[in-house]
Amino acid sequence: MKGAKGKGAAKRDTKDALKPVDDRKVGKRKAAVKADSKSKAKKGKAAKDPNKPKRPPSAFFVFLEEFRKTFKKENPTVKAVSAVGKAGGERWKSMTAAEKAPYEAKAAKRKTDYQKVMSAYEKKQESVADDGDEESDRSKSEVDEESGQVFLLLLLTKMICGGTSMG
């Protein structure tokens, strides 16, 4: 079975390697395909609420906030974000559990704060949704009834008048 996977992967690799060359020759073919896939993704996703609280950082990211400051002081010439991230990751891996403990405590505190804020946010969203749903349901049913009545009136007038339109 491993041989079959390897052959299939090799075929896909060769097809993928040829695609960019073909797309350059054709022109905007690749961009049109991407636009279609993006539009489908946008329809499926719900809109982001700008008022929703941000998730709290993990212990590593709490550590990285402090590490970033010290790293920039020690290496002022290094501007790459990736270099800071790699150095921070190596330092984090080499730390003992006792050294990580203060960062984990800060992360836990931020998480509890986030949970409090999030529960308040969810309660607010539920109250807003409840108020809006009742009004919108009523208006939809009223509109449906009115449009149904209008349709029936038009149908009856056409039948009575012999199919001639009035307007």
Q: Hunting for tokens 């636009």 — which residue is that?
A: 35
The pLDDT, as a whole number, for residue 164 is 54
For residue 47, is pLDDT > 90? no
Mean pLDDT, the chain, rounded, equals 75
What domains can you pick out in the chain, each with its CATH number?
A: 10-41 (no CATH), 58-120 (1.10.30.10)
The pLDDT of residue 50: 86
More confident position, 9 or 98: 98
Residue range 124-133: mean pLDDT, rounded: 78
DSSP helix/strand/coil, 2: helix
pLDDT band, residue 90 (cuts 50/70/90): very high
Could you give the CA distance from residue 52 to residue 50 in angstroms, rounded to a whole number?
Answer: 6
What's the pTM value of the predicted model, to 2 decimals?
0.51
